[in-house]
C-alpha cells in the first residue's frame, strides 16, 4: 500500500519508485484511444460491524482531513485481538499481506498516539522471538510476531500470527487515523512468511466463499464496507466483470487494449489513495489530459477546466471509465505528481467508482459499477 497524500490537481502519480517487485509492463504506443467512453454513476452511507445480505461485513469509518489544502479521505474499520478482546482500527489493505497493530512494546511518537495491544492482558496470546521489518510506499516499522485470536466482523480466527510494533520511525503512522494494517494480498509477499488473515480464514473453513469485496464511498460520505465470504449486492448496480490475477503477489491484473495500456500490469490496492502511473507513460498521459509541466518535474491542470477527458481502462475486454470528477483533486497549490513504481496502481480513486471483489478460490478480481 502507498500512504503518501500529496497536494495535486491530479490524482495520477508517476509510479517509478515504490517498494514493490517490478511488474511486466512494456512501453505501449499511444494513449489517444484511452480517452473516450462515457461515465456512469455515484455514492453511499457507518461505523462498526454488521451482517448484510448474510455476508459478514465491516463498515469502514470514513474520516476527512486536509493536507496542504487538499481534501483527503481515510478508510478504516474495527477488529478485535485477544481474550478479552482489545479493539483496534485497521486499514484493510489489498496491497500488503501482514496484520500488525501498535503495541505496548513501542514508545515512539506514532505508537503513543494510538491504541496499543497489551499481550499481558490476553489469556490466549502466544509469544515468539521472531522479529520483522516492513517497508511500505511511505512509512515503515519494526516489530515482533505473536499469535492470538482475531475477530473480524464476527469471524473468529484462532492462533492468527500478527505483528506487534516495537518501533515506528518518522511521521507517516503518527498522522494515520488507524492503529495498524490488515493486509489482504497473497502470502508470497508477507514479511516473515506470516500467514495472512485471509489465508487462515480459508484454512479454518470460516467463509462461505473464499473471497472478499470492497465498497468505498465518495466525497467523505459514510457507508464504506469490506465484506468477507460474499458480496453485498446493494452496493453495485451492474454485473461483475472478472479479470485473472497475473501474479499471485499483489492483486495484480493486466490492463489490455487501448493503445498505451496494451499488456500493461496494474495492482488493485485499497491502501493507495491515488491512481498511480508508471514513469515512462506519465508524460503521454499528462499531455493527453492537457496538464502542464512545472519546474519541479510535476504536472498541474486548471481545475476549472470543463473539457477534461474521461479516461477509460480496458480490463479483460471491458471498458471502465473514470471521469474528471474522480481523478481531479482541487488544491490550493499548483502541483504535482510523485515518483512511485513501475506498475499502474488502481487505488481509491478508481475503487470509489467500482465495487471490487477479490476471489482467492479462482484467483481473479471483479469490478462492478458502484451505486
Helix (H) or strand (E) holding 78: strand 70-81
Catalytic residue from among 102, 179, 199, 269: 269
Q: Confirm whether 102 is a catalytic residue.
A: no
* Sequence-ordered list of residues with C-beta below 8 angstroms from that of 304, at least 6 positions apart, any chain: none
Q: Is the preceding peptide bond at 101 cis, omega within 30 degrees of 0?
A: no
Q: Please calculate the CA angle 142-276-179 and round it to the nearest 5 degrees.
A: 30
User: Is residue 162 within 8 Å of 27, Cβ to Cβ?
Assistant: no
* Sequence-ordered list of residues with C-beta below 8 angstroms from that of 115, at least 6 positions apart, any chain: 86, 87, 88, 89, 101, 102, 179
- Give the CA radius of gyration of the chain: 20
Q: Confirm whether 93 is a catalytic residue.
A: yes
Catalytic residue from among 14, 93, 102, 199: 93
Nearest-angstrom CA–CA distance, 188 and 77: 25
User: Is residue 115 within 8 Å of 89, Cβ to Cβ?
Assistant: yes
Length of the chain as a residue count: 371
Active site (catalytic) residues: 93, 269
Amino acid at each position: 500500500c502507498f500512504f503518501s497524500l500529496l497536494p495535486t490537481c491530479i490524482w495520477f502519480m508517476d509510479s517509478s519508485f515504490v517498494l514493490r517487485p517490478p511488474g511486466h509492463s512494456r512501453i505501449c504506443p499511444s494513449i489517444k484511444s484511452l480517452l473516450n467512453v462515457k461515465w456512469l454513476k455515484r455514492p453511499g452511507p457507518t461505523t462498526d460491524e454488521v451482517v448484510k445480505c448474510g455476508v459478514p461485513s465491516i463498515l469502514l469509518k470514513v474520516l476527512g482531513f486536509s493536507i496542504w489544502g487538499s481534501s483527503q479521505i481515510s478508510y478504516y474499520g474495527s477488529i478485535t485481538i485477544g481474550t478479552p478482546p482489545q479493539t483496534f482500527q485497521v486499514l484493510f489493505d489489498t496491497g500488503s499481506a501482514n496484520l500488525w497493530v501498535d503495541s505496548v512494546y513501542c514508545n515512539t511518537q506514532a505508537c503513543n498516539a494510538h491504541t496499543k495491544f497489551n499481550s499481558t492482558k490476553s489469556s490466549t496470546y502466544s509469544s515468539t522471538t521472531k522479529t520483522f521489518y516492513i517497508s511500505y510506499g511511505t512509512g515503515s516499522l519494526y516489530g515482533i510476531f505473536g499469535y492470538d485470536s482475531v475477530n473480524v466482523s464476527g469471524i473468529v480466527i484462532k492462533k492468527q500470527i500478527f505483528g506487534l510494533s516495537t518501533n515506528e520511525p518518522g511521521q507517516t503512522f503518527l498522522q494515520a487515523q488507524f492503529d495498524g494494517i490488515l493486509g489482504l494480498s497473497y502470502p508470497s509477499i508477507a514479511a516473515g512468511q506470516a500467514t495472512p488473515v485471509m489465508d487462515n480464514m480459508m484454512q479454518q473453513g470460516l467463509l462461505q466463499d473464499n473471497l472478499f469485496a470492497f465498497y468505498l464511498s465518495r466525497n467523505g460520505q459514510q457507508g464504506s464496507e469490506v465484506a468477507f465470504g460474499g458480496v453485498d449486492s446493494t452496493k453495485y448496480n451492474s454485473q461483475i466483470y472478472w479479470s485473472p490475477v497475473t501474479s499471485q503477489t499483489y492483486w495484480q491484473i493486466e490492463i489490455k487494449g487501448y493503445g498505451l495500456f496494451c499488456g500493461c500490469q496494474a495492482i488493485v490496492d485499497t491502501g493507495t489513495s491515488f491512481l498511480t502511473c508508471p514513469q515512462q507513460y506519465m508524460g503521454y498521459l499528462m499531455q493527453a489530459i492537457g496538464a502542464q509541466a512545472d519546474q519541479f518535474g510535476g504536472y498541474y491542470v486548471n481545475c476549472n477546466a470543463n473539457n477534461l477527458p474521461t479516461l477509460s481502462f480496458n480490463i479483460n475486454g471491458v471498458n471502465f471509465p473514470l471521469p474528471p470528477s474522480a481523478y481531479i483533486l482541487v488544491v490550493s497549490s499548483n502541483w504535482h505528481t510523485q515518483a512511485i513504481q513501475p506498475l499502474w496502481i488502481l487505488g481509491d480513486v478508481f475503487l470509489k467508482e467500482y465495487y471490487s471483489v477479490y476471489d482467492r478460490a479462482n484467483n481473479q478480481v471483479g469490478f462492478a459499477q458502484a451505486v
